[in-house]
């Protein structure tokens, strides 16, 4: 009986192999992709400028430690969590849409990975004030750029402990708010919802070497390096 079963298994396997070989290459690739689909992986963006490019507002030592130590650790830890916990998500947006169901390690490090990628890209050397459509949107939503800065600064200063301040687009309406730790407005668990347009890291590791406990001085200096073109590109 055992020999018959083995012969049957071999015959069935050969038949299946022949059928697969008869399929067009594209169809074979499609079948294989079902089994070889890669899990979501977070990656670290290349820093768009040198470590010292944002001086004197953000010092080179802070930038290097922030990017190579803190951010790199978030990337590694979230990818480790995804692998260990068999987390399945087609993209980062869907990953954050189920943040409330993720482990603390996956959620916190996923937020840290994405938030920092975003943070590097909303800064640049020798920035100025916003113009064009982002200026119009800010004036229309908050009355003036100065009033917007005041509200955003209040959100950043008012975040107790570690976290982020955000400008988001929520269904065509611009909103300002903050999130704790490494949360962001794309998470289903976040009270502030919307598409991030601008974000400010107010964790102490972002400013303590230069500004010590003076978060207000850090925020005031940061306005000099906001990449308003990058903010405008995210405004649909």
Residue pLDDT, tens place only, 156-214: 999 999 999 999 999 999 999 999 999 999 999 999 999 999 999 999 999 999 999 99
pTM of the shown model: 0.83
The answer to whether residues 89 and 98 touch, using CB atoms and an 8 Å cutoff, is yes
**Residues constituting the chain:** 236
10 Å Cβ neighbour count for 205?
A: 13
Residue 51 reports pLDDT greater than 50: yes
pLDDT in tens, 13-25: 444 444 444 444 4
Q: In the predicted model, what is the mean pLDDT of residues 73-84? A: 98
Strands lying side by side in the sheet with 163-170: 173-180, 163-170, 195-201
Among residues 161, 193, 162, the alpha carbon closest in space to that of 175 is found at 193
d(C-alpha 169, C-alpha 175), whole Å: 6
* 3-class secondary structure, 50: coil
* Distance between CA atoms of residues 172 and 160, nearest Å: 28
Give residue-wise pLDDT tens across range 82-108: 999 999 999 999 999 999 999 999 999
**Which stretch of DSSP H or E encloses residue 80?**
helix 72-84
- Alpha-carbon torsion 106, 107, 109, 111, what sign? positive
pLDDT band at 38 (very low <50, low <70, confident <90, very high): low
Q: CA-to-CA distance for 216 and 24, rounded, in angstroms?
A: 63
Domains of the chain: 60-121 (1.10.287.990), 132-233 (3.55.40.20)
Question: What is the distance between the alpha carbons of residues 170 and 205, in angstroms, rounded to a whole number?
Answer: 29
Mean pLDDT across 71-75: 98
For residues 167 and 176, the answer to whether their CB atoms sit within 8 Å is yes
Mean pLDDT value across the chain:
88
Which pLDDT score, from 0 to 100, does residue 56 have? 97
pLDDT tens column, 143-157: 999 999 999 999 999
């Amino acid at each position: 009986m055992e020999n018959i079963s083995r012969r049957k298994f071999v015959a069935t396997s050969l038949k299946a192999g022949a059928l697969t070989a008869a399929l067009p290459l594209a169809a074979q690739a499609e079948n294989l992709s079902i089994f070889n689909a890669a899990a979501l992986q977070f990656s670290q963006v290349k820093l768009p400028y040198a470590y010292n490019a944002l001086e004197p507002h953000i010092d080179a030592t802070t930038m290097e430690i922030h990017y190579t130590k803190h951010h790199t650790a978030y990337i590694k830890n979230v990818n480790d969590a995804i692998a260990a916990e068999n987390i399945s998500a087609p993209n980062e947006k869907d990953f954050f849409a189920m943040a409330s169901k993720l482990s603390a390690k996956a959620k916190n490090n996923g937020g840290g990975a994405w938030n920092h990628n975003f943070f590097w890209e909303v800064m640049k050397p020798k920035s100025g004030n916003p113009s064009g459509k982002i200026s119009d949107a800010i004036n229309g939503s908050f009355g003036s750029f100065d009033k917007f800065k005041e509200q955003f600064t209040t959100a950043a200063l008012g975040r107790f402990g570690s976290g982020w301040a955000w400008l988001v687009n929520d269904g065509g309406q611009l909103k300002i708010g903050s999130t704790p730790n490494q949360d962001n407005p794309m998470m289903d668990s976040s009270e502030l919802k919307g598409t991030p347009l601008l974000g400010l890291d107010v964790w102490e590791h972002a400013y303590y070497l230069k500004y010590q406990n003076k978060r207000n001085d850090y925020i005031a200096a940061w306005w000099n390096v906001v990449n308003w073109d990058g903010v405008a590109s995210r405004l649909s």
